A and B are shown apart, each in its own frame.
Chain A
Amino acid sequence: DQQVKQNSPSLSVQEGRISILNCDYTNSMFDYFLWYKKYPAEGPTFLISISSIKDKNEDGRFTVFLNKSAKHLSLHIVPSQPGDSAVYFCAASGDKIIFGKGTRLHILP
């Protein structure tokens, strides 16, 4: 049973537009949420996080929103750039960090 779900395996967005990646979770005990970015043949790199006591965290072009009642979080990237093309993993932390299966983002020129 997947505790962290990323239901879109892939997403294509025009350069300059907003990219929105979604993530749902089932365990209400998760208290910290993270997004990682992964390029081919490299390890995941930490991107941005949010504590369960907040509903928004912003870092430059990246904003993470958390809706605890819906057990849903999203990552917004605006404006999208070619270098943003990668696989994005959502993760949730309780006694361990649980990762989703990832969403492959393609930024179109």
Chain B
Amino acid sequence: NAGVMQNPRHLVRRRGQEARLRCSPMKGHSHVYWYRQLPEEGLKFMVYLQKENIIDESGMPKERFSAEFPKEGPSILRIQQVVRGDSAAYFCASSPQHKGPYEQYFGPGTRLTVT
């Protein structure tokens, strides 16, 4: 009965490189959410996906960031040409539904450090 899995747990990238963060939702969950937490800040919503569809990307920066949730495999958050300001903890959450009362279950996060 595995929870939400994220890998890697820690990722170090130099400025200009690409970062790929992976998230496998809980079994039976078809809704995936990505959040970013900057130091001393709360959780900022980035994007909400269902299988093969981006439902809400209103929290995603317009450039360099993209997300996908393919039919098979984990959800991927991709950050191209990383900059120091991208250093943060990135959390993925999943839920079995999106309507009505529902809770999101979080993974352990990926800590991205850009040097």
Q: Give chain A's interface residues, CB within 8 Å of chain B.
A: 6, 31-32, 34, 36, 41-46, 49, 51, 89, 93, 95-102
Among A44, A51, A96, point to the contact of B106 (Cβ < 8 A).
Answer: A44
Among A34, A43, A99, A100, point to the contact of B109 (Cβ < 8 A).
Answer: A43
Q: A89-B42, A96-B48, A99-B43 are in contact. Are A45 and B106 (CB under 8 A)?
A: yes
Q: Are B91 and A44 in contact (CB under 8 A)?
A: yes
A46 / chain B contacts, CB cutoff of 8 Å: 103-105
B93 / chain A contacts, CB cutoff of 8 Å: 43
- Shortest CB distance A8–B (Å): 13
Among B41, B102, B103, B106, point to the contact of A43 (Cβ < 8 A).
Answer: B106
B103 / chain A contacts, CB cutoff of 8 Å: 34, 46, 49
- Shortest CB distance B108–A (Å): 5
Among A43, A44, A51, A96, point to the contact of B45 (Cβ < 8 A).
Answer: A96
In the complex, which residues 67-115 of chain B have their Cβ closer than 8 Å to any Cβ of chain A? 91, 93, 100-109, 111
Q: A49-B101, A93-B101, A101-B41 are in contact. Are A42 and B56 (CB under 8 A)?
A: no
Q: A32-B101, A93-B101, A93-B102 are in contact. Are A43 and B108 (CB under 8 A)?
A: yes
Q: A44-B91, A99-B43, A101-B42 are in contact. Are A51 and B101 (CB under 8 A)?
A: yes
B32 / chain A contacts, CB cutoff of 8 Å: none
Instruction: Please list 6 pairs of residues, one from A and one from B, whose beta carbons are closer than 8 Å in the complex, sorted by A's number.
Output: A32-B100, A32-B101, A41-B109, A43-B108, A44-B43, A49-B101
Interchain CA distance A51-B103 in the complex, whole Å: 12
Q: Are A100 and B42 in contact (CB under 8 A)?
A: yes
Interchain CA distance A6-B42 in the complex, whole Å: 10
User: Residue on B with the closest CB to A87?
Assistant: B42
Q: Are A102 and B42 in contact (CB under 8 A)?
A: yes
